[in-house]
Amino acid sequence: MSTIKDVARIAGVSIATVSRVVNKGPKVGEKTRNRVLKIMQEIGYMPNANARALVTQKNTTIGVVIPDLTDPFFASLAHGVDKIAREKNMQVLLSTGLISESSERQAINLLLERRCDAVVIHSKKLSDDELVELSKRVPGLILIDRFIERIKHRCVWLDNAEGGKLAARHLLAMAHNSFACITSQYEIDDPLLRLQGFKDGILDAGFTLENKLIAKQEPTLQGGEIAAQELLSQNIPFSALFVYNDAMAIGAISTFEDNGFRVPQDISVIGFDDVLLSRYSRPKLTTLNYPIEDMAANAALLALEYRESPEQYSAPEGLKYLPSLVTRESTIRNKSR
């Protein structure tokens, strides 16, 4: 691939001039400019972004760390960042660290080695301390879906407990009085807080959640199917089910129906996330909207700002989002007595 030197040689000018043309810099004679432009065109010259990044110390790249792209939730996250990247004429560098401490660390390191201008990180496994340390070294680093008090200005997160509460109140308002829950088996904040919020919510009305009616599995469609089976096998009736996320909820509904239980007539089900799927599953899923795309876009914006002025925090309290209830067809007023 040709370089700036080739262009300069053929055009009979110095590389400085070519550089000025490429960067639309000032003070280049009309004639020279056109000649250089023409030659660049002819030999198919493309400036080497790596070389440029090396000298300018910025490479128009936003890094994203997510576990995986198959999960629509994370695809939305990446898309939110990409949206901003496009606006700013930047690009997204993906670093997928499946969920393990070392792979998350490595995914982040790869982005840092690339000297990404900004980094949006979805990390569940790394310790608070490590993340705090990291944030000191990297100004344009934002944590998404995670809250760490010490560096809250670097955090963009959702109030999960509030989501659990909203779910509880919705079910309560529908006169439900016996509850079950399907949650993620991972002992991280999100499921823990959602569950806690839900428990708190029903407790306000004097209800509790039996431990036997809490099923934990992988937070996937398949996990939801298995969890629903576990619940059914307990042979304890319940009229309403709070599920960790939409994927699990849809998996669970699938299992219920295969076993002769109708949703919502026999069991009301409420999910979490409001992914596209939830709008087109049958029955349409009642769920809590998780504005992840928006959050990711704002995280990217924030990262970019911090990278520009590392001392000046435009969001000193961080960005906290609230989930909101989306009532569709999978929940219904409790008829049983």
| Range 50-89, binding DNA (CB under 7 A) | 51-52, 54-57
Binding mask 17-36 for DNA (x = CB under 7 A): x-xx-xx---xxx-xxx---
Binding mask 117-156 for its own copies (x = CB under 8 A): --------------------x-------------------
Task: Name the token pair of 187.
Answer: 């002992």
327 binds DNA (CB under 7 A): no
Residue 252 contacts residue 243 (beta carbons within 8 Å): yes
Residue 291: contacted member of DNA, its own copies, none (CB under 5 to 8 Å, by partner type): none
Task: Tell me the closest approach of the beta carbon of residue 1 to its own copies, in angstroms.
Answer: 7
245 binds its own copies (CB under 8 A): no
Q: Which residues contact 251 (CB under 8 A, 6 or more apart)?
A: 220, 221, 222, 223, 224, 225, 226, 227, 228
43 binds DNA (CB under 7 A): no
Q: Phi and psi dihedrals of 319, rounded to 5? A: -120, 110
Residue closer to its own copies by CB (options 171, 250) is 250
260 binds its own copies (CB under 8 A): no
Residue 260 contacts residue 284 (beta carbons within 8 Å): no
Residue closer to its own copies by CB (options 160, 330) is 330
Candidates 105-113, 121-129, 162-170, 298-306 — which segment interacts with its own copies by CB under 8 A?
A: 105-113
Q: Which amino acid is at 18?
A: V
DSSP per-residue codes, 12-26: TS-HHHHHHHHTT-S
Chain-centre distance of CA 163, in angstroms?
Answer: 17
Torsion of CA 39, 42, 47, 48, to 10 degrees: -130
Task: Tell me the closest approach of the beta carbon of residue 174 to its own copies, in angstroms.
Answer: 22
Q: Phi and psi dihedrals of 325, rounded to 5? A: -75, 135
Q: Which residues contact 166 (CB under 8 A, 6 or more apart)?
A: 201, 288, 323, 324, 325
Among 14, 100, 109, 336, binds its own copies (CB under 8 A): 109
Residue 24: contacted member of its own copies, DNA, none (CB under 5 to 8 Å, by partner type): none
Q: How many residues bind its own copies (CB under 8 A)?
A: 47
Residue 109: contacted member of DNA, its own copies, none (CB under 5 to 8 Å, by partner type): its own copies
Candidates 13-21, 25-33, 63-71, 309-317 — which segment interacts with its own copies by CB under 8 A?
A: 63-71
Please work out, in degrees rounded to the nearest 5, the angle formed at the alpha carbon of residue 143 by the alpha carbons of 184 and 116.
Answer: 125
110 binds DNA (CB under 7 A): no
DSSP per-residue codes, 17-54: HHHHHHTT-S---HHHHHHHHHHHHHHT----HHHHHH
Pairing assessment for the beta strands 61-66 and 118-121 based on DSSP bridges? parallel
Handedness of CA 55, 58, 59, 64 (dihedral sign): positive
Residue 27: contacted member of its own copies, DNA, none (CB under 5 to 8 Å, by partner type): DNA
Task: Tell me the closest approach of the beta carbon of residue 27 to DNA, in angstroms.
Answer: 4
Residue 3: contacted member of DNA, its own copies, none (CB under 5 to 8 Å, by partner type): DNA
**Chain positions contacting DNA, by CB under 7 A:** 3-5, 12-17, 19-20, 22-23, 27-29, 31-33, 45-48, 51-52, 54-57
